[in-house]
Structure 1
Amino acid sequence: MFSPTPSPEARAAGIRKIVYYQEEVLLENGVLPPVPALRATAAAVLANPWAGTGPETDLGPATREIAPQIARALTDRLIAGLGGAEKIEAFGKAAIVGTAGEIEHAGALIHTPFFGNLVREFLEGSSIICFADERAEAGQPLVVPLWHKTEAATRSHYQTVTARVSDGPRPDEIVVIAAASTGPRPHARIGDRATDPAVTSRILEGASL
Structure 2
Amino acid sequence: MQEIATNAPRIDLRKLVTYRDVVVTEAGARPDRPAHRASVAAVVRNPWLGTPPRTDLSREQARVAPVLAGLLTDRLIAALGGADRIEAFGKAAIVGTGGEIEHAGALIHTPFFGDLVREFLEGESIICFADARAEAGEDLVVPLWHKTRAATRSHYQTVTARVSDAPRADEIVVIAAASTGPRPHPRIGDRTTDSAVTSENLERVLT
TM-score relative to the length of structure 2: 0.95
Partner of 1:178: 176
Segment drifting more, 199-208 vs 146-155 = 199-208
AA matched with 1:103: I
Partner of 1:3: none
Q: Note if 1:63 corresponds to 2:61.
A: yes
AA matched with 2:206: A
Cα offset for 1:56? 1.4
Counterpart CA distance in 2 for 1:8 and 1:160 is 30
Counterpart CA distance in 2 for 1:159 and 1:46 is 27
AA matched with 2:190: D
Partner of 1:12: 10
Partner of 1:96: 94
Change (3 A) 1:74 1:9: farther
Partner of 2:80: 82
- Structure 1 residue ranges (4+ consecutive) displaced by more than 4 angstroms after TM superposition: none
Q: How many residues align?
A: 202
Counterpart CA distance in 2 for 1:173 and 1:190 is 39
Once the two structures are superposed, residues 115-163 of structure 1 have per-residue CA deviations (whole angstroms, 9 ceiling, x without a partner) of: 0000000000000000000000000100000000000010000000000
Q: How does 1:149-188 map to 2 (within 5 A)?
A: 149-188=147-186
Once the two structures are superposed, residues 58-107 of structure 1 have per-residue CA deviations (whole angstroms, 9 ceiling, x without a partner) of: 10000000000000000000000100000000000000000010000001
Cα offset for 1:15? 1.1
Counterpart CA distance in 2 for 1:131 and 1:111 is 9
Counterpart CA distance in 2 for 1:10 and 1:46 is 10
Counterpart CA distance in 2 for 1:21 and 1:10 is 20
Cα offset for 1:205? 4.5
Structure 1: segments with no counterpart, 5+ residues: 1-6
Counterpart CA distance in 2 for 1:12 and 1:78 is 21
Partner of 1:141: 139
TM-align CA RMSD = 1.0
Is the 8 Å Cα contact of residues 9 and 72 (structure 1) preserved in structure 2? no
Counterpart CA distance in 2 for 1:12 and 1:151 is 36
TM-score relative to the length of structure 1: 0.94
Q: Percent identity?
A: 70
Counterpart CA distance in 2 for 1:64 and 1:184 is 33
Counterpart CA distance in 1 for 2:73 and 2:130 is 17
